[in-house]
Structure 1
Amino acid sequence: MSRPEANPWLVLTGLSLGVLVTNGFGRFAYGLILPAMRADLDWSYAQAGWLNTANALGYIAGAVGTMLALRRLAPARLFAIGLAVTALSLVATGLVPALWWQSLWRFLTGLFGALSFSTAGALAARLWAGDPRRNALGIGILFGSGGGSAIVLCGATLPAMLSGWGDAAWPWAWLIVGGLSLACLPLGLWAAWRAPAVPRRSADAPPLPLRAMSAQFLGYAGFGLGYIVYLTFLSSWMREQAAGTLQVALVWVLLGGCITVSPLLWRGVFARHASGRPLALVLCAIAAGSALPVLWAGPAGLVVSAAVFGLSVFMAPPAITSFTRQNLPPESWGSAISLFTVVFAVAQTLGPYAAGWLGDRTGSIGPSLLAAAALLLLGALAASRQKAL
């Protein structure tokens, strides 16, 4: 007797919780907790950036591992394993302050987070396979609502908590984030079990058209190099500008809220274009958001920056997923998205440490934000040259 078909919106909600944990909590909560960790542990900008680089190195390993594992394991199983271990790693991050320990758990968070992130898009793309507009909306919601909700939750609570309890309370921030991640496991694991099966790529399947997709790969590399600088160092930049706790919290809540609603803004673009144009437009918007805090100093500039950045930053992965869905057969989706994730992860490895190094040399993180914006614009230029296959 076959099991009844699950509500696709409920399945999408569970998959979105996976993105909330692996991306929102696993990668971007660090930007809010970082100023307290840096002050309490007396880290340099380079040391602070190194932990995100360790996370990115784990992400590379996870993305490559996903490509290899997809030959034997279903995407749903990889999604579930990645989600469970990421949640446990976040709890462990709050236990020991030593840099080597922090590096280990940031690495493992990236490693297993990549398993979930690389497979989530392929699972969601099967929910409405015959409805392009609903499919584009679902993919956008997967990445936008998951990551955006996490940033809203963290932005509304962590700055106030760390301000009231002091910088030494940063381990509690990680324990709270880890506890919320564990609470997301039941629905996330159920969604992986009930998501439509993704066809397995056979050994004799034709290879991916890598040369024809090269402009899109370059554009996504630009995204990996540039976007992470803003999310890693936004709170540090605001502290440099003597921003108060309430202002930091409001900016992060605005950022997360805009991320959450961003799929509504971009779904038509994704549905209409099978080329690299959606990614190029997204990268231009991210670049503008990254540069605005420096070019337009003051609270108004930060507010506009958070809105522009939030309405675009989580739309790069949906742009890649939509491009893959429209141009490749279903059995190639998992492998193609994993390969895009590898390219993104390799590029992302360089961003935080290089930005921290530049911040140490200049005495401010502002020049790093401008350099990140320039890299994003170069990525947009590359993506604009990608034609539909």
Structure 2
Amino acid sequence: MGTKSAFNRITLWASFLFVVILGFSRLSYGMFLPGIQRVIGGSYGQLGILGTVNFIGYLVGTLCLPPLISRFPDRKHLINRMTCLLLGLTLIGSAFSDHFTGLGLWRFAIGLLSAFATVLVLSIAMDAVRPAERGAASGLIWLGGSAGILATGLFAPFTIDPSHLQGWRHAWVIMGVFGVIAAVGFEFVTRKRGAEKMPSQTESKPRDKESENVYRLLLNPKRLLFLIASYFFFGWGYIIYFTYLIPYLVSKGIPSLYAGLIWSGIGFAGLFNGWIGGKAIDRWPSGYTLASGLTLGTIGVCGVTTNNMLVTVLGAATIGLVSFITPPLMTTALLRRHVPHHAYASCLSIATAFFAAGQIIGPIVGGVAVERYGLQLGVASSAIFMAIAAVLAGLYGQQQRKLEIRDLPISG
């Protein structure tokens, strides 16, 4: 259905939006945590709850989107336009928070809007790309999240350093303005294609009946259950690492500039991960490919247990290179291959809801671990859930092989 190559204006602007959707609106919170604590107060466990609030909003958004798309199947572009603009504006609004409750409300709204934007931007952009190149296209789009991490790390001297108490506010304003610009750019490049596709939307009549089978498809142990479960545990594990890594480094006396460079290093490594992971999943569309990245990421997380800063940094780079962007982009690409075209947005939204549920649990469990055992073991606890995600991805790959063997024609 799509005719464009993986690298085109739509995927480029979608990648710019993912700088905001993933890097700025969600993961920047972990980087800004020390600065926010100095201004608003609270323990890291309490502030971790605000991370949970953000992902509760994300979960609510992923659950609300499928019925919204079913109710207004021809309004996907309009919903996306409003969502992306509001996301940039709420990011700006959050910069003016003075109290724990106010910031929590902004984080909830940002989570809700980023859930809508994640699914809609991916769905719209992937529709424009040739099927054989959708893994690479997914990699290019998710690469924007790595660029967001890289850019966020460059703000570190102005957001972590005690001499810049309001630095995190200024950074969020700049990020929000960038989000509005990216939303306008994406709308401009997709408007013509959206207009071209309007007549063909009549094919969506059976969507109500198909939506009843979406959960059956995703939660079937013989189809996609292990993939969805892997995505859930990845969300649980990676968010603990990204929430508490910078506070751990700061507690070790690492200067704000170096902490920011480590954070940026994860994002820089992820720039390669987005392209390599996309090419890999196009070449080997298997759960085993996903499991390999998650396994290496688990090993990378364990670097914090060595009390050696070089090993910790190398572990962070490993996570950025092979397992930060890889699971979302590979899950996106695998779903695109194995679900009906008209059900893709709903399936991706539900899969993202499981991912969000993991991210809700993660900061709570991580916060408890931090309060009881300290930041080091709190960060290291993410390895447990990354390992579970790797095992489940391997089981999904095994299930794929069984289906492929069963479907082989019997010769002779």
**Same-fold call, TM cutoff 0.5:** yes
Equivalent position to 1:175, from 173, 176, 192: 173
Aligned to 1:158: 156
Q: Distance in 1 between matches of 2:5 and 2:388?
A: 43
Q: Which has the larger displacement, 274-283 or 208-217?
A: 274-283
Give 1:86 deviation, angstroms: 1.1
Q: Distance in 1 between matches of 2:301 and 2:84?
A: 29
> Matched residues, percent identical?
23
1:20 maps to 2:25? no
Per-residue CA deviations over 1:4-55 (Å, capped at 9, x if unaligned) read x999611111111221111111001111111111133221122110111000
Q: Distance in 2 between matches of 1:97 and 1:137?
A: 42
Equivalent position to 2:241, from 213, 230, 242: 230
Aligned to 1:254: 265
Aligned to 1:313, the other structure's residue is in SS state coil
Aligned to 1:187: 185
Distance verdict in 2 for CA 1:45–1:384, change over 3 Å: same
Contact between 2:226 and 2:392, CA under 8 Å: does it hold in 1?
A: yes
For the aligned residue pairs, the C-alpha RMSD in angstroms reads 2.3
Aligned to 2:213, the other structure's residue is in SS state coil
Aligned to 1:385: 395
Contact between 2:278 and 2:330, CA under 8 Å: does it hold in 1?
A: no
Per-residue CA deviations over 1:256-276 (Å, capped at 9, x if unaligned) read 111112123223331133432
Q: Distance in 2 between matches of 1:42 and 1:190?
A: 42
- 1:250-329 equivalences under 5 Å are 250-292=261-303, 294-311=304-321, 312-329=323-340
Q: Distance in 2 between matches of 1:169 and 1:239?
A: 16
Please tell me the residue identity of whatever aligns with 2:29. Answer: Y
Per-residue CA deviations over 1:200-259 (Å, capped at 9, x if unaligned) read 462233713231211111111111110011111111010111101221121122111111
Contact between 1:80 and 1:192, CA under 8 Å: does it hold in 2?
A: no
Q: Distance in 2 between matches of 1:335 and 1:365?
A: 38
Q: Distance in 1 between matches of 2:228 and 2:259?
A: 34
Aligned to 1:40: 39
Q: Distance in 2 between matches of 1:237 and 1:53?
A: 19
1:149 maps to 2:150? no
Please tell me the residue identity of whatever aligns with 1:27. Answer: R
Contact between 2:6 and 2:129, CA under 8 Å: does it hold in 1?
A: no
Q: Distance in 1 between matches of 2:6 and 2:311?
A: 42
Please tell me the residue identity of whatever aligns with 1:298. Answer: N
Give 1:168 deviation, angstroms: 4.2
Aligned to 1:95, the other structure's residue is in SS state coil
Q: Distance in 2 between matches of 1:330 and 1:372?
A: 34
Aligned to 2:406: none
Q: Distance in 2 between matches of 1:195 and 1:43?
A: 48
Compute the TM-score of the two structures, normalised by the length of structure 2. Answer: 0.86
Bigger Rg, structure 1 or 2: 2
Per-residue CA deviations over 1:74-100 (Å, capped at 9, x if unaligned) read 433333222111111111111122111
Aligned to 2:407: none
Q: Distance in 1 between matches of 2:235 and 2:148?
A: 20
Please tell me the residue identity of whatever aligns with 2:237. Answer: G
Contact between 1:58 and 1:107, CA under 8 Å: does it hold in 2?
A: yes
Contact between 2:91 and 2:172, CA under 8 Å: does it hold in 1?
A: yes
Per-residue CA deviations over 1:87-116 (Å, capped at 9, x if unaligned) read 111111111221110000000000010001
Distance verdict in 2 for CA 1:158–1:177, change over 3 Å: farther
Give 1:330 deviation, angstroms: 1.1
Contact between 1:77 and 1:192, CA under 8 Å: does it hold in 2?
A: no
Aligned to 1:240: 251
Aligned to 1:26, the other structure's residue is in SS state helix
Equivalent position to 2:209, from 201, 204, 211: 204
Q: Distance in 2 between matches of 1:135 and 1:172?
A: 36
Contact between 2:280 and 2:289, CA under 8 Å: does it hold in 1?
A: yes
Aligned to 1:70: 69
Contact between 1:91 and 1:178, CA under 8 Å: does it hold in 2?
A: yes
Q: Distance in 1 between matches of 2:145 and 2:275?
A: 15
Distance verdict in 2 for CA 1:163–1:384, change over 3 Å: same
Distance verdict in 2 for CA 1:273–1:64, change over 3 Å: same
1:342 maps to 2:353? yes
Give 1:188 deviation, angstroms: 2.5
Q: Distance in 2 between matches of 1:300 and 1:11?
A: 39
Q: Distance in 1 between matches of 2:239 and 2:145?
A: 14
Q: Distance in 1 between matches of 2:112 and 2:289?
A: 28
Aligned to 1:385, the other structure's residue is in SS state helix
Aligned to 1:332: 343
Q: Distance in 2 between matches of 1:162 and 1:378?
A: 33
Compute the TM-score of the two structures, normalised by the length of structure 1. Answer: 0.91
- Unpaired runs of 5+ residues, structure 1, are none
Aligned residues: 381
Contact between 2:6 and 2:136, CA under 8 Å: does it hold in 1?
A: no
Contact between 1:19 and 1:143, CA under 8 Å: does it hold in 2?
A: yes
Aligned to 1:368: 378
Q: Distance in 2 between matches of 1:48 and 1:354?
A: 13
1:80 maps to 2:81? yes
- Unpaired runs of 5+ residues, structure 2, are 404-412
Aligned to 1:96, the other structure's residue is in SS state coil
Contact between 1:274 and 1:327, CA under 8 Å: does it hold in 2?
A: no
Please tell me the residue identity of whatever aligns with 1:86. Answer: L
Q: Distance in 1 between matches of 2:44 and 2:384?
A: 21
Q: Distance in 2 between matches of 1:88 and 1:168?
A: 19
